[in-house]
Amino acid sequence: MAPKAIIAPSILSADFAQLGADCARTMDQGADWLHVDIMDGHFVPNITFGAPVVAKIRKHVDRPAEKHGRGTFDCHMMIAEPKKWVREFQKAGCDLYCFHYEAAFSSAAESPEAKTTDARTNPKDLVRYIHDCGLLAGVALKPMTGVDVLTELLESPDPKERPDMILIMTVEPGFGGQKFMASELPKVQALRKKYPDLNIEVDGGLGPGTIDQAADAGANVIVAGSAVFGAQDPAEVISLLRSSVEKASAQL
Ligand SMILES: O=C(CO)[C@H](O)[C@H](O)COP(=O)(O)O
Ligand SMILES: [Fe+2]
């Protein structure tokens, strides 16, 4: 049995002119978490918003009392310099800081400190730093990146270096409303087989037509933007996504 089903609507598809109200509404419609897409125009070819906006929307959604609890702000950091923004986002009300493995790796390679032993320029030390800042840590993989890169993190003897969640992208990051890439699901399957208790999130193109494949592969944290915010009845879509994960999880 996989960890509990968590439905995290992506507010990328909300109305940015009334984000607070849209976030509060999606929570009332049954969402567990809010998936907050941060894009910087460098790591991805699109820009969304930064920490000041997150701080404003935080006022509309209660902070979870527990780790992974209802109202978790799951910040998907599609940014070139993930280590630089951890503190700002923690202060703004982020609960889970999910950085891209590819960004941490390349910012380490490009950084002038790369030749030194700066503790925060590689994925393992970035996970530790996020934990030291009091946040949950997530690591996201783009479609071209294989899951083998995660072994060192997930099997670290030090719990501070182990991520709380892995995000497998099922579209190229940057835009909502793209077509689901089923080709990414073997990555989910491989992780679930090896780590039965791991929170595995999928993001991109998820909705009523694709959820069963993702749930059967072992994903338990489901991001859905256009499928929720574009629905006639968002509560019904959230409930359908949850049932699919719960059904698949009982059979794992
Ligand atoms: O990270 C993202 C894009 O980079 C979004 O979270 C994702 O695409 C959600 O949108 P949709 O469900 O419409 O595909
Ligand atoms: Fe996302």
**pLDDT tens-digit series, residues 3-44:** 999 999 999 999 999 999 999 999 999 999 999 999 999 999
Going by C-alpha positions, the residue among 37, 51, 33, 29 that lies closest to residue 171 is: 37
Tokens representing 172 are 């190229």
Domain ranges of the chain: 6-250
Compute, in angstroms, the gap from residue 117 CA to the centroid of ligand 1.
35
Q: Which atom of ligand 1 is nearest to the CA of 172?
A: 4
Tell me which ligand sits closest to the C-alpha of residue 98.
Answer: 2
- Supply the pTM of this predicted model: 0.95
185-209 pLDDT, tens digit each = 999 999 999 999 999 999 999 999 9
- Ligand 1 atom closest to the Cα of residue 76 is 1
Q: Which residues pair with 195 in a beta bridge?
A: none
Tokens 């499928």 locate to 227
Query: Which option is the CATH number for 6-250: 3.20.20.70, 3.20.20.300, 3.40.50.300, 3.40.190.80?
Result: 3.20.20.70
Q: E strands of 88-205, at which residues?
A: 96-100, 136-141, 165-169, 199-203
Q: Please give the Cα distance from 24 to 22 (Å, whole number).
A: 6
Say which range, 120-134, 161-175, 216-230, has the weakest mean pLDDT.
120-134
Give the pocket of ligand 1 (CB within 6 Å): 10, 12-13, 35, 37, 76, 171, 173-178, 203-206, 223-227
Q: How far apart are CA 96 and CA 130, in angstroms?
A: 9
**Ligand 1 midpoint to CA 236 (Å):** 19
Buried b (16+ CB within 10 A) or exposed e, 197-236: ebbbbbbbbbbeebbebbbbbbbbbbbbbbbbbebeebee
pLDDT at 2: 75
| 15 annotated active-site | no
Residue 176 marked ligand-binding: yes
Best of 11, 26, 36, 37 for a ligand 1 pocket test (most atoms within 8 Å of beta carbon): 37
> What is the DSSP-derived secondary structure letter of residue 47?
B
pLDDT in the model for residue 60: 98
13 among the known binding-site residues?
A: no
In the structure encoding, which two tokens stand for residue 45, read together?
């070819």
Q: Which of 64-68, 74-78, 116-120, 214-218 has the lowest mean pLDDT?
A: 116-120
Residue with tokens 């399957």: 189
Kindly indicate the confidence band of residue 163, based on its pLDDT and cuts at 50, 70 and 90. very high
Catalytic residue among 22, 40, 203, 216: 203
CA 137, 143, 145, 147 torsion-angle sign: positive
What's the CA gap between 1 and 249, in Å, rounded?
A: 5
Active site residue 203: yes
State the pLDDT at residue 107.
54
User: 201 has which bridge partners?
Assistant: 167, 221
Report the complex ipTM.
Answer: 0.98
pLDDT exceeds cutoff 70 at 118: no
